[in-house]
A and B are shown apart, each in its own frame.
Chain A
Amino acid sequence: MADIISSVMEVKHIDELSKQKNLINAVHPLAKLLLTLVYIFVLASFDRYEVAGLLPFILYPVVVIIICDIPVKNIFKRVVLLEPFIIITGILNPVFDKSIVEIGGVEISGGWLTFFSLLLRSTLMITAGFLLVATTGIENIARALTLLRIPTVFVLLFLLTYRYIFVLTDEAGRLLKAYHMRAPKQSGVRIKVWGSMVGQLLIRTYNRAQTIYQSMILKGYTGRYNSGEGSGVNTLDIIYPALWLLFMAAARRFNIPLLLSGLLNQLV
């Protein structure tokens, strides 16, 4: 449970990385959001047996991590946490797919190929998602959503939810701590108190929502979302995504590792 609280707080840390000043953080949030979506989309469009063709796509996270000084450990820890779920879904592939594939004279089953492809792809996709947050931040993602014509009601809901996750996680954490201090030998919460425990939290939350609404009204809430910054589009906002899109298109169209292999063969 302490793990969950710390992982929630770690997320806040990733969000705060976006406040640093650097080349990529300065790029328009909408450009980064769309770029991330294209990256994931292109990775998903590869054939499930593809492994070599995916390798060039490692360039994107490597460059972003270096330019933005993102602590690799943080991102890596979060990605590794999610790997087991992917492994579970893919581990049966070698069992069901018995086709034989030859790689450099070594025979392996096609199932292993799909498994590695799944693993590599998911790692890249998850990393790209975290990098979007670490270089853009919640406020700017909300701004990008507004620019995509997502209704204000939803954008506000998104921001409100994010804001209060930390408050309520903290509150739920305290509630649990109190429970476990009085029931030290239990691993979970007993059925007798399921309703009252979560119910109490719910009622407190409900009351809090009313206070929040009142203070929003007092501060002039009119149902609109004002993001503050309304910076226009500059050259960087065009060049940065354009370069990556070109790279991705090339890496998708041509299997770069295989091209290089051919080149090496000719040289040798």
Chain B
Amino acid sequence: MHMGDVLISPQVGGVMLAAAVGTAAFSIKKVREMDEKKLPLMGVMAAFVFAAQMINFTIPGTGSSGHLGGGLLLAVLLGPSGGFLSMAAILLIQALFFADGGYLAYGCNLINMGFYACFIAYPLIYKLITKNKLSRTRIVIGSIVASAVGLQLGAFSVVLQTQLSGKTELPFSQFVWIMLGIHLAIGLVEGIVTAAVVSFVWKVRPEIIAEDAGNVSKKGNGTVIAVFVAAALALGGIVSLFASANPDGLEWSIGKVTGQELTGNSGIHAALEKAQEKIALLPDYGFKSDGENGGEAAGTVVSGIAGSAVTLGVIVLIGFAVRVFKRQKTRPGN
């Protein structure tokens, strides 16, 4: 479910990052209020989830395999705030060192994979089912339902963010159904693995699971959720504001882009196109719009190819120059 930077526009990335940072700030406050012993536990558990992700589980009857995502498991072990922060650390390391998920998309990824699992699925579903009495059946049902719902929300949010960014051509309805379908299967496997692990630990070392259960139920989850629902609504408002009023404020695009297909069917695309035409300084790729300016385009545009070749040539030359300069500089030292 990790989103890369290419699929995200700066606006969507920025808004989601702000939302993620807000949630993280809240979580940090909560964690500080808790026992500070939790910090090493959080770090090591995050590393544990990272390592556990490499274990492939054979899914009975299908011949395929899946692995753990870990959002819900972290929430069960560390509580919503601790789980969310651990997820934030995992995602940051994955983005930095494994290029799994981008920098610009970091906020999106943290909301999609951390927020829904820790602040929605865990308190509203898992906790609700296991609140009164902890039993194996309740753990299993709670884990499976919570994982599935958490992943569905995450997957839906991926589709929304991608569409709002407008970087791919995937049609909304098809994209939604594919994503939700795939993530329903993934969510069920995730739920079963989480259930198996939690019930095993509960059987062998019940205090690890029960300790947190007591810890969390004391805190008013209602207010937390209310705050986040409000935040989500505000966020939706901000995104739609951005989308309609200022389609792509950073697009000081130089290329002149015209053509029917580009216009799309929404006001966003039309506005974007207009803005681009206004600022266009140089002729870019010649778009053929139904023969109107097709002939002229073919004649005049040797469209950028020669220039691109020269650009690459210059880069290679600079590379060589830097290398020569560097060798000369290091030689006297040796």
Interfacial residues, chain A to chain B (CB-CB below 8 A) = 1, 4-5, 7, 11, 14-15, 36-37, 40-41, 43-53, 55-56, 58-59, 62-63, 66-67, 78-79, 82, 85-86, 89-90, 92-93, 95-105, 107, 110-111, 113-114, 118, 121-122, 125-126, 129-130, 132-133, 141, 151, 153-154, 156-165, 167-169, 171-173, 175-176, 186-191, 194-199, 201-203, 205-206, 208-210, 212-213, 216, 223, 252-265
Contact = CB atoms under 8 A, between A and B. Distances in A.
B47 interface: yes
A36 B103 contact: yes
Nearest to A37: B103
Contacts of A213: 37, 39-41
Given A46-B253, A202-B201, A78 B6 contact: no
Contact of A102 (B4, B10, B169, B303): B303
A205 B73 CA distance: 14
B318 interface: yes
A132 B200 CA distance: 41
A104 B282 contact: no
Contacts of B319: 62-63, 66
B288 A48 contact: no
Nearest to A12: B97
B54 A172 contact: yes
Contacts of B7: 89
Contacts of A212: 40, 44
B155 to A, nearest CB: 14
B58 A156 contact: no
Interface in B1-41: 4-10, 13, 24-25, 28, 31-32, 36-37, 39-41
Contacts of A203: 201, 204-205, 208
Contact of A253 (B57, B197, B252): B252
Contact of A190 (B54, B58, B305): B58
B259 to A, nearest CB: 5
A258 B284 contact: yes
20 contacts: A41-B104, A49-B284, A52-B284, A55-B315, A62-B315, A63-B319, A78-B99, A104-B305, A114-B169, A121-B5, A122-B6, A125-B4, A176-B55, A189-B57, A203-B205, A205-B44, A212-B40, A212-B44, A255-B304, A258-B284
Given A40-B5, A53-B254, A209-B41, A198 B302 contact: no
A190 B312 CA distance: 52
B170 interface: yes
A255 B8 CA distance: 22
Contact of B99 (A37, A113, A129, A176): A129
Given A44-B9, A67-B322, A171-B51, A101 B169 contact: no
Contact of A255 (B99, B248, B250, B284): B284
A53 to B, nearest CB: 7
Contacts of A161: 43-44, 46-47, 50, 86, 89-90, 93
B311 to A, nearest CB: 5
B104 A195 contact: no
Given A44-B5, A188-B65, A157 B85 contact: yes
Nearest to A159: B43
B51 A40 contact: no
B47 A165 contact: yes
Contact of A129 (B31, B96, B288): B96
A151 B28 contact: yes
**Top 3 A-B residue pairs of the complex, sorted by shortest distance between their CB atoms:** A160-B43, A195-B196, A261-B307
Given A96-B170, A254-B254, 19 more contacts: A44-B8, A48-B167, A56-B315, A62-B318, A82-B100, A101-B288, A103-B285, A104-B302, A113-B285, A129-B96, A130-B99, A153-B85, A160-B43, A161-B43, A189-B56, A191-B196, A203-B205, A205-B48, A254-B281
Interface of B: 4-10, 13, 24-25, 28, 31-32, 36-37, 39-48, 50-52, 54-60, 65, 68, 77, 85-86, 88-90, 92-93, 95-100, 102-104, 166-171, 192-193, 195-197, 199-201, 204-205, 208, 248, 250-255, 257, 259-262, 276, 281-288, 294, 297-298, 301-308, 310-312, 315-316, 318-319, 322-323, 326
A90 B170 CA distance: 9
A233 B44 CA distance: 34
A244 B97 CA distance: 23
A58 B323 contact: no
B96 A63 contact: no
Q: By CB atoms of chain A within 10 A, which of B39, B85, B192, B259 has the most?
A: B39
Contacts of A210: 40-41
